[in-house]
A and B are shown apart, each in its own frame.
Chain A
């Protein structure tokens, strides 16, 4: 749609004195030099044909690109990171202002008689299921209300297996994996990764826990297992061998899952497990688009964009959920903290690195949320 808009605006912004392609078409068919009257007669149909032709070419190109992507997927070729000029150009655009303007447009009330038509058109364009909407279409006063609509009771059954973690959103899995090794990196796409500390914040509890565990393990292992520090008799007398209590504990790995929400998806965020939310961080960053093309071309997409990170503990240890905004869907609202405001107008050209942080009930249990419970929602603009 970006290409389409660009091409259309280029076409429409041609100077009046510059003959459009339709003029040549009209002149040829109507006879060259036929005077202003005969030229004008074919001007509108000519422009229409040219526009239709342009749209046809763009559509064909899009189909060709989609086919190429599908072929690559079938062959098992992963998309690779490849920055381009368009991605660099994006950084110059006033994306936040555009996002806020888009949000204001979407909040405009739609006449009741038009609502079903508009929402059905939206659903057709973005593949939404209107059968799931909790209310009749006439009840949603604006596209914004329709966009964050609730679903009918029972539309999203929550897996009751206590040993499972459920999806917090409707969407497409972009990346899953385990975080290992120094740097603790998450793949954005093949060929480019970002660190988990950049995403969650440098003062995240995840690192504190890990460092403490590693230190405890080192301290305990140092008692009996320092190579060359003990002779054979010392080892034989040290019986029974001191057991490292850390080794008795089940070890835990750190995993990640990245889920992309298309504009037509249900945009409320639910809790993936029973957990205690201990703190919230709000990073007021940029608002780059989040589509698949952006993921492949914009460096540090997830750690530069505006996001809200909820961090806490569940029965297996640390857990954090980062909701990342985009140009069209830039606002994140928390049900556990309704007063938080995101996508605010900002005078700063370079977003601050320091996030706004809040601890929920310091020293206490934080906010207790159950598996499947609503915690946040994405809003347009």
Chain B
């Protein structure tokens, strides 16, 4: 079984023509995770 999560998260303004993401995943492909562990964080400006 599989779970797919789709969500909106904050992205900062354009820099050098590219949107710089404020949200960052704290996991990588292949990592094992458990319920309650952070998979991504963002910083409020």
Name A residues whose Cβ lies closer than 8 Å to a Cβ of B.
73, 156-159, 161, 163-176, 178-179, 186, 196, 199-200, 206, 247, 250-261, 266-270, 272-273, 290, 302, 314, 316-326, 329, 372, 378
Contacts and interface: CB of A to CB of B under 8 A. Distances in A.
Given A163-B42, A176-B28, A326-B1, A319 B10 contact: no
Contact of A173 (B12, B13, B30, B42): B30
A259 B2 contact: yes
B6 A319 contact: yes
Nearest to B29: A173
B1 A261 contact: yes
Interface string B13-45: 100000101110111111111111111111111
Interface of B: 1-13, 19, 21-23, 25-45
Given A251-B13, A316-B9, A174 B2 contact: yes
29 contacts: A157-B36, A163-B44, A164-B26, A164-B38, A164-B42, A165-B38, A166-B38, A167-B37, A167-B38, A173-B28, A173-B30, A173-B32, A178-B21, A200-B6, A206-B8, A250-B11, A251-B12, A251-B19, A253-B10, A255-B6, A255-B7, A261-B1, A266-B34, A272-B7, A273-B7, A316-B7, A320-B7, A322-B4, A322-B6
Contact of A318 (B7, B34, B45): B7
B30 A316 contact: no
Nearest to A325: B1
Contacts of A329: 1
Nearest to A314: B7
B13 to A, nearest CB: 7
Query: Among the interface residues A255, A266, A290, A321, which one has the most CB atoms of the partner chain B within 10 A?
Result: A255
A360 to B, nearest CB: 18
Given A173-B27, A200-B6, A316-B9, A163 B36 contact: no
A131 B7 CA distance: 34
Contacts of A170: 32-35
Contact of B4 (A199, A247, A270, A378): A199
B36 A156 contact: yes
B21 A272 contact: no
A289 B34 CA distance: 22
Query: Among the interface residues B2, B37, B40, which one has the most CB atoms of the partner chain A within 10 A?
Result: B2
B38 A168 contact: no
B37 A166 contact: yes
Nearest to B43: A163
